Amino acid sequence: MILVTGGAGFIGANFVLDWLAATGEPVVNLDKLTYAGNLENLQALDGDGRHVFVRDDICARPLVDALLARHRPRAIVHFAAESHVDRSIHGPDEFMRTNVEGTFTLLEAARAYWNGLAGTDRDAFRFLHVSTDEVYGSLGPGDPPFAETNPYQPNSPYSASKAAADHLVRAWHHTYGLPVLTTNCSNNYGPYQFPEKLIPLVIANALAGKPLPIYGDGMNVRDWLYVGDHCAAIRAVLAGGRRGETYNIGGWNEMPNLTIVKTICTLLDEMKPDSGGRYERLITFVADRPGHDRRYAIDARKIERELAWRPAETFETGIRKTVHWYLEHQDWVAHVQSGAYREWVQKNYGGRE
């Protein structure tokens, strides 16, 4: 049994589905079901006794203690986080609460639980914290990719909150001996991603004939990681990662945002032609967001060297699978595009010209 936090969100839900398919080991899934958590992501597990869902808050220490005592997990895999930079700019409070206070609460609960274990159970226990490459800051065009040894230089409330959480995880290992693992991943994409993020937003807007908003000049560069590859990497780190170590997980796919959007448009032209013309006609450049990091890139050689993991998908194969999934799951998209979501899109993009 493992305990997963945030397992109804984009990456967390993909991980739960991947984990059960790959290992069959039961999962207790703790998720508050905020705007990005969606039980429809886990519909395939309805009636599956290996998946125990608990709707609650990672900041609720008595609840976390009770779950650990009842289910006796061998590991905690911590995905739960507020994760969108734009949302952190508009309202940083929840980011500090969930990402910092929530991680602290989980660490303290895990420490108490681990101290009560004995023998092989104590030796085998792991706390795996899922983080982001954004904690490292921004790179120049010629800078080498982020390695695990790069200094932290977060530039947004979101990345600052994740950096704080990373530091807490490190400190609980070095001070208390808690057997932790940390992963820092690049931009994920794939099925079940909430449509405020670039790739699903572009797909949804294009199909609706709406503008495809691109910040600034569209040349901000990210490394893109297919979510299925990320799930496989986390399984590898949990199985063989060294206690206290950090592993960067990347897709080896650096690409500017404008190229991403044009690639999606080309795939939609092929898969779902629009009688109004090519989808690229909808591209609209909008004012850049504050503190927008220019480039991220991940050096994922450590995880390849130590754990023999490397992404199975190229960007070309992964983005084709992703566009196809969204075209085949328009009901899911319609359900998550609630009134609250539409209000958010207007708040974030409505004043940008």
- Tell me which of 82, 86, 134, 254 is the catalytic residue: 134
| Residue whose token pair is 């904690």 | 135
> Concatenated DSSP letters for 171-214?
HHHHHH---EEEEEE-EEESTT--TTSHHHHHHHHHHHT--EEE
Alpha carbon distances (Å) from 298 to 137, 220, 253, 277: 12, 15, 9, 37
CA 293, CA 139: separation in Å to the nearest integer?
8
Helices and strands counted in the chain (H then E) = 14, 12
- If phi > 0 it is left, if psi is from -120 to 50 it is alpha, else beta; for residue 273 that is beta
Looking at residue 97, what DSSP letter applies?
I
56 is catalytic: no
Strands in the chain per DSSP E:
2-5, 27-31, 51-55, 75-78, 126-132, 180-185, 187-189, 212-215, 221-226, 246-249, 254-256, 283-286
Of 31, 133, 299, 313, which is the active-site residue? 133
Question: Could you give phi then psi for residue 216, rounded to 5 degrees?
Answer: 55, -130
133 is catalytic: yes
247, β-bridge pairs: 183
DSSP 352: -
From the list 31, 86, 136, 158, the catalytic residue is 158
Q: How many Cβ atoms from other residues are within 10 Å of residue 189's Cβ?
A: 25
Query: CA-CA distance, 93 to 329, in Å (whole number)?
Result: 33
Amino acid residing at 312: A
Q: Catalytic annotation on 304?
A: no
Rg, Å, the chain Cα set? 20
Active site residues: 133-134, 158
